[in-house]
Amino acid sequence: MAIRFDASTGTFTIHTANSTYQMKVDEQGVLLHTYFGALADDSDFSYLIVPEDHGFCGQPAEYKGERVYSLDFCPLEYPVCGTGDYRITALKAGPEGRTPALDLRYFSHRIREGKYALPGLPALFAKAGCGAQTLEIVLKDLYEEIYVTLYYGVFDGENVIARSAVVENRGKAPATLRRVMSMGLDFPDGDMDLICFHGKHVGERQYERSALRHGITQISSTRGTSSHQMNPYVIFCGKHTTEETGSCCALSLLYSGSFQIQAEVDQFERLRVVCGLHEDEFSWTLQPGESFAAPEAVLAWSENGFEELSLSLQRTYHDHLIRSVWKDRKRPALVNNWEATYFDFSGERLLDIARRAAEIGVDMLVLDDGWFGKRDSDHSGLGDWFVNEAKLGCSMRELSRRIGELGLRFGIWMEPEMVSEDSDLYRQHPDWALTVPGRDPNRCRSQLVLDLSNREVIAYMKRSLDALLACADISYIKWDMNRSVDNVCSAANPQLSQGAVRHRYVLGLYEVMEYLHDKYPELLLEGCSGGGGRFDAGMLYYAPQIWCSDNTDAIERLRIHYGTSFGYPMSAVAAHVSACPNHQNGRVTPFWTRGICAMQGSFGYELDLSRLTPEETAEAGRQLAVYHQYYELFLHGSYYRLSSPFENHDFTAWSYVAPDRACASLSIVYTDLHGNARPRRVRWRGLERDARYRLKCVLGTAADAGTYTGAALMQGGMAVPKPECDYDSCMMIAERVGL
């Protein structure tokens, strides 16, 4: 069993393939955290907790004059406000109208087969035969009928532990929740580095590593989304941890709204980590008999560097988080008309692009913004999800039929969460937008946010989606969201605590997406929020791919993809070839380089294919042929970061290796050129040592490179071909030819 309870010591020990996690119920019923790290045994690790009088560390009431036991010193599994623990806490709650203070003690536990679920929230699921187990530990307040159930979902083969907390009010009066974290975790040593993935619009998930300092370090978003600025995924690691060596711990929150991850190095050089909903503006009334579930957090541990950590999470999210039927299907190579036409298009203009797309092997045309209501700029029309047939020159059904006759599928863009003030919807229902009474609302991109805590809004969104999907043969929806959430006040629920609106908004979003998933299982849904503003594990539960960034420049995408790869499967990264000069930064890169960069994820084009030169058309055909031929490698292969664009300014390299190691790809993009440059090499990883591999160049300017053993390619490496121009690149395929 992965989960074991020793009644003689009061210890719960969780083993995965490569890690051990342990808790202990002490003599006072306090649930202590005793160990998380490399695979160990069932020993009681509480011997590492040395009781002492530490001064200004208070004691629980039952200890009275005794000073060696303090919850301000003990490592705690789920720390709460009100126990004399002055460090960051996971829960701040209490009876309504009274000081929030709890003192949670062990009440009961249960170990069962399978993985727990969280109704209304994304969570990992267990496939048949995967051997997942669930541990439930119930804690109860000493004074009130408030209970907290800690959930642990263990995927021992994947080296992953999922966690959540559910707060229940079994009393006779309401309780108020002011802070609810999904988990807490105490490390005995705070001398660690923190890796986070910060960013901005068109510059998401930038890798940053820094030493933890005394006090509280916070990674968070208050924008109503997981945000472009900070991602709900972090790594804690040793000072000398690298891709292939050293200890590290990943923490990923499966949530798409405002979040908070805090790390505190305390007075004794120890580290406490908590993560969950952002506490700003949060207040939740829990009526008698009600419960509140915190979003799920996922933990993974590696003793062998970041590579093992990333591969574990990527496999777990592909196998146990993404539910779409498309996760193992060949996803269509598509062309999106946005950067080709923006708002200026007609049905015939779209058909011109579709004809060229069909000629070169594209699978789908996606119609982006501007097809609905009065929508020729971003100042009007959002919310009016009826087809502008005058603009198209035909019905949507006719357009999709003609595109289908060319052999292409048809997809469409929507932004269901938003409303323009110049729209029929807003004129009919101004109270459906989030606004603060008596104040002119803040605007962004000339739009307001619909109140998804309002059941009428949720119903309208479902009707709009049903009507759209009934009006044409639509295979794909790109679900966008182009502003942060503020003016957070619900006119529809004035009696509701306004501190609950942000979370209820996310729950409403998930409800609509679950509706789509259940009613239209064949629909391919792509998430988007101005690009990568909502690229999080929670969204993957509903959408198997996410538009990674509005920045389509191949060179800037190297950094964005690099950061994304640490915590997410690359098959979820939607990436396209765009026109040059690039629309975001004006850079000019070779057409083949744009294709190689975009082939790190779900591939497509973001340009006017009807205007390609003959040379570009031929290159696009080669790209699509490679994408189709090696799709299974890119979808199911293990992804290796072979050089970092944050450290190596000459080139960036990455590879995919098939599960049976019979085939692998290696891509190199040159980011700087030098006269009389020194020879460079790159080491492959993940190959079969004793096998022989034939290397051939399938994209770019390099030549085929001969036949070598896996050991030679991994230890000696491969000489990096000399670049022939700015931002040159190549993609090599290694095919096993024998042992």
Question: What residues act catalytically?
Answer: 536, 616
Angle at which helix 591-598 crosses helix 614-629, to 10 degrees, equals 20
Residue with tokens 């910060």: 198
Angle at which helix 591-598 crosses helix 554-565, to 10 degrees, equals 20
Burial (Cβ within 10 Å: 0-12, 13-18, ≥19) of residue 439: exposed
Strand, coil or helix: what is 294? coil
| Tokens matching residue 273 | 């980590």
C-alpha 212/C-alpha 271 separation (Å) is: 9
Task: Give Cα separations from 139 to 45, 117, 326, 514 (angstroms).
Answer: 21, 19, 40, 31
Alpha helices for 174-272 (secondary structure H) = none
Burial (Cβ within 10 Å: 0-12, 13-18, ≥19) of residue 738: exposed
Of the candidates 654, 730, 652, the one whose C-alpha atom is nearest the C-alpha of residue 698 is 730
| Tokens matching residue 385 | 């999800």
Biggest alpha carbon–alpha carbon distance for the chain: 86
Asked if 273 and 236 count as a contact pair (C-beta separation under 8 A), the reply is yes
C-alpha 11/C-alpha 217 separation (Å) is: 31
What is the layout of strands, in order, in the sheet containing 638-641? 638-641, 651-657, 663-670, 729-738, 692-700, 706-709
**110-145 per-residue burial string, b: 16 or more CB within 10 A, e: under 16:** ebeeebbbbeebbbbbbeeeeebbbbebbbbbeebe
DSSP string, 441-491: PP-BTTBEEB-TTSHHHHHHHHHHHHHHHHSS---EEEE---S---S---S
The 3-state DSSP composition of the chain as helix, strand, coil percent (nearest 5) reads 20, 30, 45
Burial (Cβ within 10 Å: 0-12, 13-18, ≥19) of residue 90: buried
Asked if 322 and 203 count as a contact pair (C-beta separation under 8 A), the reply is no
